[in-house]
Amino acid sequence: DQQVKQNSPSLSVQEGRISILNCDYTNSMFDYFLWYKKYPAEGPTFLISISSIKDKNEDGRFTVFLNKSAKHLSLHIVPSQPGDSAVYFCAASNYGGSQGNLIFGKGTKLSVKP
Amino acid sequence: NAGVMQNPRHLVRRRGQEARLRCSPMKGHSHVYWYRQLPEEGLKFMVYLQKENIIDESGMPKERFSAEFPKEGPSILRIQQVVRGDSAAYFCASSPGLDQPQHFGDGTRLSIL
């Protein structure tokens, strides 16, 4: 049973436009959410996180939105750049329950075209 | 400031042999996590350790797999009597505390002949 779902395996956007990556979760105990970017043959790189007490967190071109009632979060990248082309993973955890493990989605491959 | 270091980057073993994967966390990080990624899948949690203690091993197979994080030296993930299904990328992550973002190494790609 997949607790974190990224329903779009791929996304293609034009350079300069907005990229929106979506993630849904089923476990209401999750209280901390993260986005990672991964290039081939490398490890995931941490991008941005959000606690369940917030509904938005912003860091430069990256903004994460959390809708707890819908159990949905999204990552916005604006403006998108060709170097953003990578696989993006959404991850969730239950830190309040002292759960250190992250539950990952299967990823969305973003292609930003020049 | 060095990141999480994993070695080897690639490891080839024959069925029945042992595989040892090493992970040195970032400086100042005392929490270590191991994950496994199969092709076309997300990362799956295996085990969470702090110095000399296993905190959560709920994602690790009960047989053939073990992990340690000794007082001195790197964390080790050991797979005994490897089988073809163990072929995967194994990633290590570290964090300074439980509620801090985990930072990942570049992984060890294990291939079983």
- Chain B CB within 8 Å of residue A107 CB: yes
- How far, in Å, CA of B92 to CA of B23, rounded? 6
- Answer whether residue A71 shows pLDDT above 90: yes
Give dist(CA B99, CA B16) in Å, integer: 38
Residue A101 and residue B59 in contact, taking contact as beta carbons nearer than 8 Å:
yes
Give the chain A residue nearest B99 (alpha carbons): A95
For residue A46, the chain B residue with the least C-alpha distance is B103
Residue numbers in A near B104 (CB within 8 A): 36, 43-46
Which positions in chain B touch A32 (Cβ < 8 Å)? 99
**Which residue from B65, B66, B34, B30 is spatially nearest to B50, judged by alpha carbons?**
B30
CA distance A10 to A89: 12
Q: Does the pLDDT at position B1 exceed 60?
A: no
- Span B12-25, mean pLDDT? 98
Task: Please indicate if any CB of chain B lies within 8 Å of the CB of A69.
Answer: no
Q: Which of B43, B44, B55 sits opposite A100 (nearest CB)?
A: B55
More confident call, B41 vs A74: A74
DSSP bridge partners of B73 = none
Contact A112, A85 (CB under 8 A): yes
The residue ranking higher by pLDDT, B38 or A73, is A73
Residue keyed to tokens 């901390």: A32
Q: A20-34: per-residue pLDDT in tens?
A: 999 999 999 999 999
B48 neighbourhood in chain A, CB within 8 Å: 100-101
The yes-or-no verdict on residue A1 having pLDDT over 80 is no
Asked if residue B101 has a cis previous peptide bond (ω within 30° of 0), the answer is: no
Tokens 């990141």 locate to B3
Is residue A97 scored above 60 in pLDDT? yes
Average pLDDT over residues A52-70: 96
* Contact flag A104-B103 (C-beta cutoff 8 Å): no
Tell me whether A8 touches chain B (CB under 8 Å): no
pLDDT of residue A24: 98
- Mean pLDDT, residues A54-77 taken together: 97
Amino acid of residue A28: S
Q: pLDDT value at position B51?
A: 85
pLDDT for the residue numbered B41: 83
- CA B15-B104-B48 angle, to 5 degrees, is 70
Amino acid at position B87, single letter: S
End-to-end Cα distance, chain A: 38
Mean of the per-residue pLDDT values for chain A? Answer: 94
pLDDT in tens, B79-99: 999 999 999 999 999 999 888
Q: Do A43 and B59 touch (CB under 8 A)?
A: no
**Proportion of chain A above pLDDT 90, given as a percent:** 89
Number of H helices, E strands in chain A: 0, 11
Q: Is A44 on the interface with B (CB under 8 A)?
A: yes
Size of chain A in residues: 114
